[in-house]
């Protein structure tokens, strides 16, 4: 049985804040999915937005699972702990997201190509005929508000925690409220008799799903194959990793290379070509420009037993 050791003290408060926020995220997402499901009718844009909102439940669930697992210590089966659970869940979510996004994109393109004319009927209430599109518009408007709020609260937490999954979820929430705007335009177009507005809005929404999935897939794959520590949201070497590499190169000028890899939110370094000094202690390593809690380990490889990367 693993022993929970907790997260580094420097980020424990932010981890708790993320977990609280993701529980709220799940609760709001469930309410949005319910409202959208009741109101979507035969609108392609509403259907696509509903699927995206449903998929929006995946990242917060993965975040809650990952933050629980990565706080566990190493055990007999996992000698290096569970730091990469976050990335593994991220990869699974990206694949699922991409598959569904491509299916919805195909469905929307076919609807546009075949010129499917979607009609939105009316319902009689209190002696008046009410266009069902008003319910769709109200549901879509409601669906834009929680993602806007939650996404803005997630971004600063993701930056402090160097958490790519939380960062990507924040970007997905941004895409969700933008999707809501596209859905409003699509349903509004139907109201004005513009049949093509609905499938075009659906294409835009499904395209954003595929784009999110592609970016997530690239980031998760790079980390799982021991890629260099990257900035949030792009493939550039992170400034903290650069600072750590410079500090180790200055401390060990005879080293052939300083190799870096990222496991979850942590950085692991390997100094190639030198032996570790007897007085070296990781706790005494102070790197300007890199938070100490991010440096998980510094190891030494006296002999370069495999080809080192070129500059």
Residue by residue, DSSP assigns 255-277 as -SEEEEEEETTEEEEEEESSPPP
Is 44 in the same domain as 132? yes
Quick check: 20 pLDDT over 90?
Answer: yes
For helices 58-69 and 164-191, angle between their N-to-C axes, nearest 10 degrees: 170
Is 259 in the same domain as 193? no
Mean pLDDT to the nearest integer, 98-121: 70
Examine residue 135 and state whether it is found in any structural domain, yes or no: yes
Under 8 Å between Cβ of 261 and 226:
yes
Q: Is 250 exposed, middle or buried (0-12, 13-18, 19+ CB in 10 A)?
A: exposed
Range of the domain at 248: 239-301
Mean pLDDT to the nearest integer, 105-132: 65
Examine residue 232 and state whether it is found in any structural domain, yes or no: no
CATH number for the domain that contains residue 195:
1.20.1510.10
Strands (E), the chain: 122-125, 128-131, 257-263, 266-272, 295-301
Mean pLDDT to the nearest integer, 111-140: 66
**Can you name the residues that pair with 129 across neighbouring β-strands?**
124
Examine residue 309 and state whether it is found in any structural domain, yes or no: no
| Better-predicted residue by pLDDT, 307 or 242 | 242
pLDDT at 3: 39
DSSP structural state of residue 132 = T
pLDDT band at 2 (very low <50, low <70, confident <90, very high): very low
- Condensed to tens digits (0 to 9), the pLDDT of residues 43-58 reads 666 777 787 778 778 8
- Condensed to tens digits (0 to 9), the pLDDT of residues 252-263 reads 998 999 999 888
Under 8 Å between Cβ of 260 and 245:
yes
Contacts of 85 (CB under 8 A, 6+ apart): 65, 66, 69, 70, 264
pLDDT at 4: 40
Quick check: 5 pLDDT over 60?
Answer: no
pLDDT at 309: 52
The angle subtended at Cα 59 by Cα 55 and Cα 63, nearest 5°, is: 155
Examine residue 2 and state whether it is found in any structural domain, yes or no: no
Under 8 Å between Cβ of 222 and 106:
no
Model confidence, pTM: 0.75
Range with the largest mean pLDDT of 137-141, 155-159, 205-209, 227-231:
155-159
Quick check: 1 pLDDT over 50?
Answer: no
Nearest to 212 by CA among 66, 82, 102: 102
The mean of the pLDDT values for the chain is 79
């Amino acid at each position: 049985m693993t022993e929970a050791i907790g997260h580094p003290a420097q980020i424990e408060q932010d981890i708790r804040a993320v977990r609280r926020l993701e529980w709220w995220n799940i609760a709001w997402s469930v309410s949005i999915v319910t409202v959208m499901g009741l109101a979507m009718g035969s609108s392609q844009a509403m259907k696509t937005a509903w699927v995206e909102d449903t998929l929006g439940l995946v990242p917060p669930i993965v975040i809650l699972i990952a933050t629980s697992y990565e706080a566990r210590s190493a055990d007999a089966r996992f000698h290096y702990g569970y730091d990469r659970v976050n990335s593994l869940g991220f990869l699974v979510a990206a694949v699922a997201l991409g598959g569904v996004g491509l299916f919805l994109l195909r469905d929307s393109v076919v609807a546009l190509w075949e010129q499917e004319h979607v009609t939105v009927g009316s319902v009689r209430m209190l002696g008046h005929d009410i266009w069902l599109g008003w319910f769709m518009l109200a549901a879509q408007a409601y669906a834009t508000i929680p993602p806007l709020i939650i996404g803005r609260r997630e971004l600063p937490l993701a930056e402090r925690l160097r958490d790519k999954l939380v960062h990507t979820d924040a970007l997905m929430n941004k895409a969700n409220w933008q999707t809501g705007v596209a859905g409003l335009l699509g349903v509004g177009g139907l109201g004005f008799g513009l049949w093509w507005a609905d499938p075009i809005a659906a294409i835009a929404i499904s395209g954003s799903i595929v784009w999110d999935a592609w970016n997530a897939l690239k980031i998760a794959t790079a980390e799982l194959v021991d890629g260099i520590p990257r900035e949030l949201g792009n493939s550039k070497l992170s400034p903290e990793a650069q600072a750590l590499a410079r500090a180790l190169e200055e401390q060990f000028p005879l080293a052939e290379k300083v190799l870096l890899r990222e496991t979850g939110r942590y950085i692991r370094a390997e100094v190639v070509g030198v032996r570790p000094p007897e007085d070296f202690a990781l706790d005494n390593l102070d790197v300007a420009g890199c938070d100490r809690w991010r440096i998980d380990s510094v190891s030494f490889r006296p002999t370069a037993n495999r080809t080192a990367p070129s500059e």
